[in-house]
Amino acid sequence: MSKLFKNLWYGLDLSRKIILNLVFFLILFFIISAIISSDDKPTVEKGVALVLQPNGNIVEQLTYRDPFEAAMQEATGQEDPPETLIYDLIEAIENAKDDNRITALVISTKYMWGSGVTKLQDLAVAIEDFKTSGKKVIAFDDNFSQAQYFLASQADEVIMNPQGGVFLTGFARVGTYFKSLLDNLEVSMNVFKVGTYKSAVEPYIRDNMSEEAKEANRAWMGDLWTDFVADVASRREMTSDDILAYINSYKESMSEYKGDAAKLALDKGLVDGLMTRIEFRDKMIELVGQDEKHKSYKQISHKNYLRAIKGPMDYVNPRSDKVAVIVAKGAIMDGEVKEGNIGGDTVARKIRKTRNNDKVKAIVLRVDSGGGSAFASEIIREELVKAQEQGIKVVVSMGDVAASGGYWISATADEIWAHPTTITGSIGIFGMLPTFEKPMNKYGIFRDGVGTTKYANPVDTGQALSPDVAEIIQTSIDSGYEKFLALVAKGRNMTRDEVDKIAQGRVWSGKQAHEFGLVDKLGTLNDAVKSAAELAGIEKYDTWFVKRELSEKEQLMKQLFGSANMQQEFTETVNQPQKPTIKTQLLNEFSAVLGELDKWNDPNHAYAKCFCSIN
């Protein structure tokens, strides 16, 4: 037996060394290849087409990826979903509009996984502005999913592969429910909440969606879907009824067209032409000319275009007045958290750094969050209030989601902007503590001991929660809800009861929130920035996107991968364009469920959280 374990350990140790060596040589390859190509900055040839090709999910802020961890994931095939920053896409489009070297814009969605509605609408605004230059916008793909088609529909001409199709499905809110599983495992779920519509805890106490949650979800999704359909219809010179008829009769139409989804989309006016990849390449060569080296049409990707027109480092003018933009994206958590989620301490430090800069006259908080820790939310809001006390104007710009804790941090701003399709509201609070005494006891594991008071060791996952402690937690949750109502009432100039009527954990669309007074104005981030400048009384200013200060380790890595080309080499190597597979979709859904547990770290076990994403 000892020999078996010895051989097993030897095999594991050998595997570990092989993997570490592979990672080391992979990183060494990145460094050497980047150094060799450090002077190889892309150039923009005259007459090229700019290719807008989002990779993965379009996001407000790129999730932080440690280079070594990313290399390890690449080596083991366990990569995170790729991401594209929306501001990179918009910046490329805006610059290309007046760049005489760019003759056309090509929208390629084949590697795009998904995007929130507000981001798609922001891109639509940028593309519409690009068209005023007189340059042609063409979209091409083999197939179009719903989000892909929205982006493609902004083009002057939409072309699709004859083997493809346009599959529009509508929006859905579908969750995974665990009550029966938890019952079978005999896990005790201690739930504390306030709000008829606060449905964030339902997956743990029900096997299906409650009628109240269904009612609320139908209402806000209906608003989003109406806007989505209207936007697509207007771009395609169709009516909303035409789009809805295409969707609702899709089964019958596919039978009529004998399964030819491409011909169906063409005849119904969703695409303008059907071409193979070769035919589209020839069409573009005729339009912009041929790239002799690659035997394709003359083109430059939006990534290379930005590398060509931007300097190696971000420059912040120390002398100009500024409107500072702070992005708050992801789940709100207590403590320090890197990009991808919102650390209460991390964002508070950003705000503190910003408000102590005497050139900052206004702060725009860009919120894309369904909330999280109530404690961390208040830490962030308090820093914003301090900025207001110093005379700095605070404006909130809501992205796809600014609900629950995302609304908490927004509530007392001088002005709140949202898109009509923003998901917001969810003013409510809950707490949840699972205990595992029953399954532990069943298998012979027991917890016991003594304390100096009846509240010693109040929360122990191996023991049942005492009624006294449960009552204390519920009282705390009730108090948290009243604080939430009070700060919203103060910020929105409403009474407590007026807020309570539209609170109770209910989710609203940005359009509905505007009608109720939870939002001041409807518009984009740019609209919010301009308004912030007006409120601050400044006409000439720079927009400054405030970034987190790097740790010593991160600074070392930045020096190691310091040049723009080196960082690009690394990013593109570990983040190759890829389409989602059934495997990646299943793994992402599963990891998202488990990943939620990592985000529950409120010191008071109180959460202002909304699970209100759409499928």
Q: Read off the pLDDT of residues 499-558 as tens digits, 9 standing for 90 and up.
A: 999 999 999 999 999 999 999 999 999 999 999 999 999 999 999 999 887 766 666 665
pLDDT at position 369 over 80: yes
Domain boundaries 322-455+467-549, corresponding CATH code: 3.90.226.10
Q: Enter the DSSP assignment of 296.
A: E
User: Hey, CA dihedral for 193, 196, 197, 201, is it positive or negative?
Assistant: positive
Q: Which of 198, 298, 303, 361 is catalytic?
A: 198
- The predicted structure's pLDDT at residue 574: 45
Distances 606 to 199, 348, 527 between C-alpha atoms, Å? 15, 19, 34
DSSP string for residues in 74-120:
HHHT-PPPPEEEHHHHHHHHHHHHT-TTEEEEEEE-TTEEE--HHHH
Pick from 362, 368, 396: nearest CA to 519: 396
Q: Enter the tokens of residue 332.
A: 């709100």
Over range 392-397, report the average pLDDT: 98
pLDDT at position 598 over 80: no
Q: Which residue has the higher pLDDT, 428 or 2?
A: 428
Pick from 599, 547, 589: nearest CA to 85: 547
What are the residue boundaries of the structural domains of the chain, listed by start?
A: 322-455+467-549
33 is catalytic: no
Pick from 518, 520, 491, 515: nearest CA to 503: 518
CB 521 within 8 A of CB 531: yes
- The predicted structure's pLDDT at residue 566: 45
Kind of pairing between the strands at 542-545 and 360-369: unpaired
- Cα(441)–Cα(436) distance, integer angstroms: 9
Q: Which helix (H) or strand (E) holds 417?
A: strand 415-418
pTM of the predicted protein model: 0.86
- The predicted structure's pLDDT at residue 41: 77
List, for residues 557-573, the tens digit of each pLDDT value: 655 554 444 444 444 54
Beta strands in 440-498 (DSSP E): none
What is the residue type of 443? Y
- Cα(343)–Cα(445) distance, integer angstroms: 36
pLDDT at position 473 over 70: yes
- The predicted structure's pLDDT at residue 389: 97
Over range 337-364, report the average pLDDT: 95
Q: Find the DSSP H helices in 198-316.
A: 202-205, 211-235, 240-248, 250-256, 261-267, 277-288, 302-309
Rg (CA), the chain: 26
- Cα(136)–Cα(155) distance, integer angstroms: 8
404 is catalytic: yes
Distances 211 to 199, 200, 224, 390 between C-alpha atoms, Å? 10, 14, 20, 46
Q: Which of 43-47, 455-459, 533-537 has the highest mean pLDDT?
A: 533-537
CB 194 within 8 A of CB 606: no
Q: Which residue has the higher pLDDT, 577 or 273?
A: 273
- Cα(278)–Cα(295) distance, integer angstroms: 11
* 3-state DSSP assignment of residue 371: strand
Q: Which of 404, 410, 426, 531 is catalytic?
A: 404
